[in-house]
Amino acid sequence: MKKSIVVIGAGISGLSAAYRLNKLKTQGGIDLEITVAEKSTSPGGTIHTEYTGGFVVEGGPDCYFAEKPYAGMLIKELGIADRVIGTNSKNQGTSVLWHGKLYKLPEGVVLMIPTKFTPFVTSSLFSLAGKIRMGMDLLIPKRTDGVDESLAEFTIRRLGREALDRIAEPLVAGVHAGDPDTMSVRSSFPRFVDMEQKYGSLIRGMISARRAMQRRRTAGSGAMFMTMKNGLQDLINTLQQQSSQVQFKTGVEAQSIMRTHRSGEPAYVVTLSSGEQLKADGVILAVPAYVSAGLIASLSGDLGMLLHSIPYVSTATVSLAYRKDSFGTALKGFGFVVPKKENRRIMAATWTSSKFSYRAPDDAVLIRLFVGGAAHGDMVFLPDREITDMVKSELNDILGVSAEPLLVRIYRWNRAMPQYTIGHESRVKTIEQMITGLGNIQLCGSAYHGIGISDCINSGNTAAQSVLKGLFG
Ligand SMILES: Cc1cc2nc3c(=O)[nH]c(=O)nc-3n(C[C@H](O)[C@H](O)[C@H](O)COP(=O)(O)OP(=O)(O)OC[C@H]3O[C@@H](n4cnc5c(N)ncnc54)[C@H](O)[C@@H]3O)c2cc1C
């Protein structure tokens, strides 16, 4: 008998789930109806690329982390691996704003961990005492009680306060838009916890990881961060095109999921904002956790509350294009991050056209600033004019750029970035146990096992396989 599955949400997680269902249906000759319901008028979620005046502007993410294999595997499967580019090999590096000046993060510092002796000891970003304290990581015994620490506690324990204030905190703000005092290190950076356990030291662990990375790069597998030549929209469009047997309903919001309890009938009814009711034998929720909470509240109030307890922060990206000669000196590296102690109104800046090729015409530069996050969420919702003036004034203060930009693009992401706070792992475990009590409903997306694009793709694949297993065994 024909079965039907409804996927709610068409960000990268929902699209990956729909694509996988489509593929398994085609390969297995399964009689299956697949419908995706998406609130926005187009799929992609936080992934959105705008093409304007020769610029390729990413509104949300601009790349994926190549160390996690799922994005690369999917891109290969879609047959578009020849359209992938890595970060430019020239002029790499990130700076840190400290006491109003930009200091290059010493070569060999990977995330927050130093792995090369000379650039680290000669760097003026850290004091002598700070460097000695970071080096003590080699001697401090590993923690063995399995307690879920905050990123701040973990960093101070292993590497000291300077490592937290001058690298870990601003890098985390740049990547997760989060607060290191509340973020769980185990859920946000499991790799650090594993390194401590395996090597007894982050420095030893990272040196070993860096060597492995170099071996892979020498073997030709490329840069640490990759993207599509024409922007990540290319991945979204291709996923949708290759999900040919999936029915996409865009511009409609899922409003509730009810159980039918009639034998021989599909188990669920999903009601859309258009009034349409979709019957489903299985449902995949690929929406933020607080949206899933509302959708299943009538099926399990307790589960709804638990899903609601995963906090989110809001961010905005502001892309600005300038004539190349607007900057007194050439832009160094790929950008800079801003520690909280600097009291600035931006979290980070990326020199987009230095980081990736094909992003701007030859005589122009494209840069991107990050606003909001755990510390300054309210700034995201300032009017366009105020945000533009604010970031221009920050740029003028930090870099002395007073020229008028050729282009300004602001993208606001309201409650789009989940925060893995202390206890996240056990919260997710409980959520996953509780959802099994609702029959064939699966959760996927950035709220649970990783916020990166690769993690989201993996979560979509897993949800698709689980829901099919629930239907056909
Ligand atoms: C500014 C920014 C920069 C980032 N940079 C990077 C990066 O460089 N690299 C990286 O790997 N990751 C990055 N991330 C993280 C990554 O982009 C996200 O974690 C990932 O794209 C989330 O995908 P998702 O499908 O789980 O959720 P989303 O993209 O949020 O998609 C959820 C979808 O559900 C829809 N929806 C919501 N409610 C309903 C409803 N009731 N009914 C129907 N549809 C609904 C939404 O419209 C949306 O399309 C970034 C995130 C942001 C916000």
Which residue type is seen at 262? R
Q: Which residue has the tokens 């002029």?
A: 91
Q: What is the pLDDT of residue 216?
A: 65
For residue 426, the CA-to-ligand 1 centroid distance in Å is 23
Which of these, 179, 159, 158, 160, lies nearest to 169 by C-alpha position? 179
Dihedral sign from CA coordinates of 158, 164, 167, 169: positive
39 close to ligand 1 (CB < 6 Angstrom): yes
Measured CA to CA, the distance from residue 43 to residue 249 in angstroms comes to: 10
Measured CA to CA, the distance from residue 27 to residue 52 in angstroms comes to: 39
36 close to ligand 1 (CB < 6 Angstrom): no
Dihedral sign from CA coordinates of 439, 442, 443, 448: positive
Give 125-140 pLDDT, tens digit per residue: 999 999 999 999 999 9
Beta bridge partners of residue 85, listed in sequence order = 227
Q: Among 46, 334, 352, which is best to mutate for testing ligand 1, by the most ligand atoms less than 8 A from CB?
A: 46
Side-chain-facing half-sphere of 116: CA atoms under 13 Å: 13
38 close to ligand 1 (CB < 6 Angstrom): yes
As a whole number of Å, the CA-based R_g of the chain is 23
453 close to ligand 1 (CB < 6 Angstrom): yes
Spans of the chain below 70 pLDDT: 216-222
270 close to ligand 1 (CB < 6 Angstrom): no
Which two tokens mark 314?
Answer: 């809001």
Which residue type is seen at 219? A
Which two tokens mark 136?
Answer: 């003590």
236 close to ligand 1 (CB < 6 Angstrom): no
Pair 274, 61: CB distance under 8 Å: no
For residue 130, the CA-to-ligand 1 centroid distance in Å is 37
The H or E element spanning position 353 is helix 352-355
Q: What is the pLDDT of residue 221?
A: 54
The pairing of strands 348-350 and 3-8 is unpaired
The CATH number of the domain covering residues in 106-222: 1.10.3110.10
Which residue type is seen at 430? T
Which two tokens mark 109?
Answer: 């510092």
Which of these, 468, 471, 470, lies nearest to 27 by C-alpha position? 468
Beta bridge partners of residue 227, listed in sequence order = 85
- Residue closest via CA to ligand 1's atom 27 equals 11
- C-beta contacts of 206-210 below 8 A and 24+ residues apart: 206/110, 206/111, 206/113, 206/115, 207/115, 209/110, 210/108, 210/110, 210/115
Report the predicted TM-score, pTM, of the whole model to 2 decimal places. Answer: 0.95
Domains in the chain: boundaries = 3-46+236-310+421-472, 106-222, 312-418
Q: Among 287, 307, 443, which is best to mutate for testing ligand 1, by the most ligand atoms less than 8 A from CB?
A: 287
Distances, alpha carbon 400 to alpha carbons 104, 329, 344, in Å: 18, 10, 15
Mention the CATH class of domain 3-46+236-310+421-472.
Answer: alpha beta
287 close to ligand 1 (CB < 6 Angstrom): yes
451 close to ligand 1 (CB < 6 Angstrom): yes
Give 454-473 pLDDT, tens digit per residue: 999 999 999 999 999 999 88
339 close to ligand 1 (CB < 6 Angstrom): no
291 close to ligand 1 (CB < 6 Angstrom): yes
Beta bridge partners of residue 268, listed in sequence order = 259, 280
**3-46+236-310+421-472 and 312-418 agree in CATH topology:** no
Q: Which residues, 6 or more positions from 262, have their beta carbon under 8 angstroms from its beta carbon?
A: none
Q: State the fold for domain 312-418.
A: Polyamine Oxidase; Chain A, domain 2 (3.90.660)
Pair 312, 418: CB distance under 8 Å: yes
Dihedral sign from CA coordinates of 345, 348, 354, 360: negative
- Residue closest via CA to ligand 1's atom 17 equals 61
Measured CA to CA, the distance from residue 424 to residue 458 in angstroms comes to: 19
Q: What is the pLDDT of residue 219?
A: 56
284 three-class SS:
strand
Which is the closest atom of ligand 1 to the Cα of 62?
8
